[in-house]
Each structure stands twice: as C-alpha cells, then as structure tokens.
Structure 1
Amino acid sequence: MRLRNKPGAKEELNQNPEIIIRNPEKCRGQWKEIFGNNNPIYVEVGTGKGQFLMGMSMLHPDVNFIGVEKYESVLITAMNRAKESSQTNVKFLNEDVSDILEFFEASEIDRVFINFTDPWPKNRHEKRRLTYKGFLEMYEQVLKEGGDIHLKTDNQGLFEYSLESFTSYGMTLHHVSLDLHRSNIEGNVMTEYEQRFSRKGMRIYRCEAKFRS
C-alpha cells in the first residue's frame, strides 16, 4: 500500500521546480518550449515512484516524458531518481489525472501510459477507473490524431473491462498479451509493482489501444 502522507514532502517537491512542475496549467500548449525540443511527448498517469518513467527516459532519449502523480509521498522517490539521473527528458506533475485537460492542449501529446492503476472493482466506482469512457474522452482530446494508450495491469478483471471499454469507444487493439513476461514483446520496462508481482509468478496483462485517425 502506498504511503500517502509524508511530513515535509510538499516542501521538498517545491525545492525542485526543474523536475516537479508546479502550476502546470500555465504550461498548457507550451510543453515543447519547456523541454526545449520538438520531440514526442509521452505521459504516464499515476506514475508512482517513477521507476518505469525513468527507465523509459533512458531507453528513449529522443522522447519527452511527463509523469502525473497526485500523492506527494511517493512522488518524492520519483523526483530523487530524476535528480540522480543525467536525463533531462523527464518531468513530473503533482496533480490528479482527472484534471489533465487543464495541463495539456488539444493534440499536444503522443502517448498515454496506464500502469497498474487501482482497479476499482466495485460497480459503483466504475467512473474512477482510468480506462472508463470519461477518461478516454479526455485522453483523446489531448492526444494527437491516432494517438494511443499503453496499458499494463496484474488485474484480470480490470484488463477485461479495459478491452471492452477501448473497443466500445471505437479504438483498435494491438499487441494484446495475456502473459507479458512469456510473450515476445520487446523493450518492456518494468514498474515497481510489476517486478513485485512477476516475482510471485503472477500474470501481467498488456495491450495497446489506438484512437481513430
């Protein structure tokens, strides 16, 4: 379970404005200028401690990465990882993904990653699932035409729900894997949860869903 309260976390994040972008609504439409290049922008929603995003930033130096995480206590770890790295192509937002339209202009980003998100298994919580149609509508607005979502989860119920949600929305599915670590998909970067679950022999589900061009 994530630690959601850490004394002094907010103040520590505020001391690193080059990594933790405060008031990201002021950056809306200007992310190319903030990164100083025209490289593609990939966003991870619910980035946690940042292991996946930092790994991706090192593997793909020609891509800009932004991690969105609302819990200050876990974002501290992501920030420290970025400080220890020489990578300049990664930033973090201490924000809620439900406000994503305030941070990005239409067609400003190229890809969204959703990794090991809370499955919210109860029916009454469906609208909180990050693959619910309401979130898909927001992702579609900020993604470029034909942009896509990459999803990884250990939860079979959420995976099945997400596949149905994607297809009902009119998206096309690619590279669907019911057991990622026994598939031939290359270049996989693991999250903290993924490492933990895979060590226990748990199955990891993955897919890519592309919006209509």
Structure 2
Amino acid sequence: MRVRNRPGAAEMLAARPEYVVADPEAWKGRWTERFGNNHPIQIEIGMGKGQFITGMAAANPEINYIGVEMQVSVISLALDKLVEAELPNLQLLHVDGSELTNYFSNSEIDQIYLNFSDPWPKKKHEKRRLTSPNFLAVDEEILRPAGEIHFKTDNQGLFEYSLSSFSKYGMTLQQVWLNLHESNYEGNIMTEYEEKFSKKGQPIYRVEARFPDKTK
C-alpha cells in the first residue's frame, strides 16, 4: 500500500518503542518475553495501514499479533491506530517480509496472514509474490509444524497462482472462498483495500492453506 511520504514518520516510530520494535533481531526466539506471556503468535506480512491487524488484536486478546511492514509512512499510520486502541497484544516491525528468519526462530509463529499483497503480475516478477515458493520456504521455517497461511485478495490471477503455488509446495487447502462477502464466513475483519474493493462489487477471494507436518 503506497501512501504519500509522511513528514516525521520515522520520528513517530522511534518515539513509541513499546509498540514499534527497534531491535527485532534481539527478540528472535524470545517473543514470548516481549509480550510477557505464552499466548500464540500470529503475524501479518504487509499490514498496510493496520486496520486488519489492530482489529484482530482487539477481537482476540488471547492471541499475540505482530504486524510487518516495510514503508515508514504506512507503518506510522498503523501506529496511530495502535496508540489509540492501546493494544498490549500487538507489536509492529519495520522490516522486509523476505527476511523473517532474521527475526523469528524455527516454529516460533503460529499463523501468518497475507492480505491484498502486491500481485506482481509480470512473469519475471514471480519471485516477488508473497505466495511464491521462496517466500513459502521462509514462512514454513518460522511457522510451527502444520502452521497455516490465511490469504485474501481481490486479484483473481494472484489467487489462482497462489492456490497452485500452495498445492505444488505440498500444502493442504483447508478452505477456499471465491466470494467471501457472499459466503457464510463469520468474523471477517476487513482491510482498507478490502473495504474499497468490496464497495465496488468486486469479489474477495480467501484461502486457508496448511503446511505439512514434517515432524510426523
């Protein structure tokens, strides 16, 4: 999600170390200490302005959440929501989603959310898609055995690619929605993009995919 440069965004992040983790490498393997409990940890890669992740954290206080975002101005907007809501079970990381093994140990994360990721439609950019095999390998490493990815998009091409990518990687498709807002799915928390696209009548695609349990 691209937004205009927000003056002072970097300073805003630095001023709230209780929410924005300045040294994520130091917490690798120790995120339960950061949160002060042993609750499950779920992350959203590419959280945008933070509407989804703050909504999830507010609705599920028994789960710890981490929002990952690369753009400083964007993460500062998510921080605004977090400060207003005062959610102790949510932390924000200003890092690259392709380098998550630098910040999380093997099997440290319980679930991953990918919402309205950049589709990178050109074939030459396939490796940049967050559901491509190279990203899945990183996700599998940090997720607990049989951990899941929950993926939402409005882009049919990316959705079809992702279903194929998950399947080829050996993942199990737990549930698939071809029009989420016309289904009986309960508890959906929308992202900013989701609200925008759904108002235009575009179908929202969703899938829950599970990695194989290699410990068995």
Q: State the SS of the aligned residue for 2:151.
A: strand
Q: 2:93 is matched by which residue type in structure 1?
A: L
Residue 105 (1) aligns with residue 69 (2)? no
Structure 2 CA distance, aligned partners of 1:174 and 1:107?
20
Q: What corresponds to 1:182 in structure 2? A: 182
Structure 2 CA distance, aligned partners of 1:195 and 1:203?
11
- 1:51, CA displacement in angstroms? 0.3
- 1:99, CA displacement in angstroms? 1.1
Structure 2 CA distance, aligned partners of 1:4 and 1:14?
20
Structure 2 CA distance, aligned partners of 1:59 and 1:204?
22
Two-structure CA RMSD over aligned residues (Å):
0.8
Question: Does structure 2 retain, via aligned residues, the 8 Å contact 1:4–1:71?
Answer: no
- 1:6, CA displacement in angstroms? 2.2
Q: 1:43 is matched by which residue type in structure 2?
A: I
TM-score of the two chains, using structure 1 as the length reference: 0.98
- 1:4, CA displacement in angstroms? 5.2
Residue 9 (1) aligns with residue 9 (2)? yes
Q: What corresponds to 1:145 in structure 2? A: 145
Q: State the SS of the aligned residue for 2:111.
A: strand
- 1:86, CA displacement in angstroms? 2.9
Q: What corresponds to 2:173 in structure 1? A: 173
Residue 163 (1) aligns with residue 163 (2)? yes
- 1:7, CA displacement in angstroms? 2.3
- 1:38, CA displacement in angstroms? 0.4
Runs of 5+ consecutive residues of structure 1 not aligned to the other structure: none
Structure 2 CA distance, aligned partners of 1:180 and 1:79?
28
Residue 35 (1) aligns with residue 35 (2)? yes
Structure 1 CA distance, aligned partners of 2:186 and 2:171?
23
Relative to 1, partners in 2 of residues 1:47 and 1:31: Cα closer, same or farther, differing over 3 Å?
same
- 1:118, CA displacement in angstroms? 0.2
Q: State the SS of the aligned residue for 2:106.
A: coil
Q: Deviations over 1:10-34 (max 9, x none)?
A: 1111000001001201110000000
- 1:3, CA displacement in angstroms? 1.6
Relative to 1, partners in 2 of residues 1:26 and 1:4: Cα closer, same or farther, differing over 3 Å?
farther
Q: What corresponds to 1:206 in structure 2? A: 206
Structure 2 CA distance, aligned partners of 1:207 and 1:91?
25
Question: Does structure 2 retain, via aligned residues, the 8 Å contact 1:150–1:209?
Answer: yes
Structure 2 CA distance, aligned partners of 1:203 and 1:93?
30
Runs of 5+ consecutive residues of structure 2 not aligned to the other structure: none
Q: Percent of counterpart pairs with the same letter?
A: 54
Question: Does structure 2 retain, via aligned residues, the 8 Å contact 1:4–1:72?
Answer: no
| Structure 1 residue runs of 4 or more that deviate by more than 4 Å after TM superposition | none
Structure 1 CA distance, aligned partners of 2:172 and 2:51?
28
Q: 1:38 is matched by which residue type in structure 2?
A: N
Question: Does structure 2 retain, via aligned residues, the 8 Å contact 1:117–1:153?
Answer: yes
- 1:151, CA displacement in angstroms? 0.1
